[in-house]
Chains A and B, each alone.
Chain A
Amino acid sequence: MSDLDLREPAALSNAWQNWYRFSRNPTAVIGALIVLVAVALAVLAPWIVPYPADAGAVVDFQHRHLPPSWEHWFGTDNTGRDNFTRSIYGLRVSLALAGVVLVIAVPVGTVLGILAGYFGGWTEIVIMRLTDIALAIPPLVVALAVAAVLEPTLLNSMLALASLWWTWHARLVYSVTRQIRAQEYIEAAETLGASKLHILFREILPNVISPVAVKTSLDAGFVILIGAALSYLGLGVRPPTPDLGTMVANGANFLPDYWWESMLPATVILVLALGFNLLGDGLRDLFDVEDVR
């Protein structure tokens, strides 16, 4: 008889299939590698940089404005510090601050989005209108405003950013939740008598994670760019702490002669943002196919 009932299912596990598909996508793999390398560099910074002291306030006028060479891969800046070392430390700052924004924005936005999407009614109205208002405010302007009122540190600016960023996630999660809510397995859970808390966080949330992961990765790229822009505008970390945006700003004074002082940190920013974008796109391609099944 057709053996359908006790047949063993396909031998490949879910994770292996995902990895296989992901690894066939060259740009996704490149993105993932960039992100991994960046994180590794950031974590290991104190141990791997060639001139650790240059991360602080060091003055070495003899070696100012040196072009890229074997001793100084990125050259030196106007006080003689090694740019490569400072870039790596700057990378650390960028990643950490992107982390701050996302660690706040993603959970807040996701929870609010799920609540609005599942319960509808007043919950939905209040949350989504709040979201609409927040979305209308330009993030950079808020950061500037916050800087005017509080201390203009990068942390404050990022917190200001986080306070607006959650809205994008809320909106995304809201629309995804609404689709999921219409699915039969949610109805089944309701008829089985599952508690609302269970339905929200054990039934809906696991299905929401894919789009959230994609968006978070793409966001990381954006946040890094905005953080660099804020630093460039002078709302960044206090010197002498290295920061990519500040380096670009300072180095811009010396264009075009000492181009490496601003161009190379700028390239680091670009590559980092690109890495997150490619990773995000790769994740999206991966999850899209899965959902089509």
Chain B
Amino acid sequence: MSLLSVEDLHVAFTTYGRTTEVLGGVSLEVPAARQVALVGESGSGKSVTMKAIMGLLPPAARITRGRILFDGDDLLTMRERDRLRLRGTAMSMVFQDPMSSLNPVWTVADQLSTILKYADRRLGRARDRRGRMARVHEVLAQVRMREPERVAASYPVQLSGGMRQRVLIAMALLSEPRLLIADEPGTALDVTTQAQILKLLKDLVTERQLALLMITHNLGVVRETCAYTYVMHRGAIVEEGETAAIFAAPREDYTRELIAAVPRLTGRDAA
């Protein structure tokens, strides 16, 4: 059984009195300890799918049909309290933009330990301040920060873009999740920093046997990190399969054109 299972999800948005369906029946599965990518361009609905899974849809959106199962339980029908207990703990998200996802007036330690405090409370776990700080330093070391204590005591503005992204990953690891949802990881970063972050993510996920759902528009990133891919277009999954298979022999026209549009490092003649 998969860790995360989305079944026939339909989401509709109501703006200016008109309702439009933005997701028309999306189904996907993330098995435990497997890395899965959800690929699409802007407007494909991948962000809406991700928000629906995390429970972060805006008020104008409504889930009209479908189920989202985590470990067998339907997130959409469970009590709010139970759902909150999962979010940020068993199922946690690595946000996209390191600049705006961290509060500039709090130190890294403050932010992470506060998140941990609330997560502990939801899980009914007791941990004192020292215990929390120890855990904060622990996760910062896990994301390969050379000096975890110094980073913890810093303000976000004192850290480089790459370090801030690591802090976001650390934030997601605080409560030992089983599923990581990564939203366009590294797109806001330089290409060399992005390569570092992606390798880190891949190593972490493999070492800790975490499931990963990666939302992205970058096909190269998908090929390097995820073994299974879902391709989204206009609110529906148009193709799915093992990543290598899709790239080698895409079945659908849309997928084929998408792959053909990506410029090749080897130049045009070689492609």
Asked if A and B form a direct contact in the complex, defined as CB atoms under 8 angstroms apart, the reply is yes
Binding site for B on A (CB under 8 A): 1-2, 4, 12, 16-17, 20-21
7 contacts between A and B (CB under 8 A): A1-B254, A2-B233, A2-B254, A2-B257, A4-B41, A12-B16, A21-B16
B127-160: CB near A (< 8 Å → 1, else 0) gives: 0000000000000000000000000000000000
* Shortest Cβ distance from residue A286 to the other chain B in the assembled complex, whole angstroms: 13
Tell whether B17 is near chain A: CB-to-CB under 8 Å: yes
A6 CB to nearest chain B CB (Å): 15
Q: Judging by beta carbons under 8 Å apart, are A1 and B257 in contact?
A: yes
A17 to B43, CA, bound (A): 21
Check A20 against B17 for contact (C-beta < 8 Å).
Answer: yes
A17 proximity list for chain B (CB < 8 A): 16
| Inter-chain contacts of A20 with B (CB < 8 A) | 16-17
SS class, residues of chain A in contact with chain B? helix
A42 to B43, CA, bound (A): 51
Given contacts A2-B41, A4-B43, A20-B17, 11 further A-B contacts (CB under 8 A): A1-B254, A1-B257, A2-B233, A2-B254, A2-B257, A4-B41, A12-B16, A16-B16, A17-B16, A20-B16, A21-B16
Which residue of B16, B233, B257 has the most chain A CB atoms within 10 A of its CB atom? B16
B interface bracket (residues with beta carbon within 8 Å of A): under 10
Residues of B within 8 A of A (CB): 16-17, 41, 43, 233, 254, 257
Q: How far is the CA of A227 from the CA of B123 in the complex (A)?
A: 62
Q: What A residues does B16 contact at CB under 8 A?
A: 12, 16-17, 20-21
- How many inter-chain residue pairs (CB < 8 Å) link A and B? 14
* Highest count of chain B CB atoms <10 Å: which of A2, A4, A21: A2
CA distance A1 to B43 in the complex (A): 14
Give the complex CA separation of A21 and B16 in angstroms. 7
CA gap between A219 and B17 in the complex, in Å: 33
Chain A residues with Cβ below 8 Å from B43 are 4
Cα–Cα distance between A17 and B16 once the two chains are bound (Å): 7
Q: How far is the CA of A167 from the CA of B254 in the complex (A)?
A: 58
Q: Which residues of B contact A4 (CB under 8 A)?
A: 41, 43
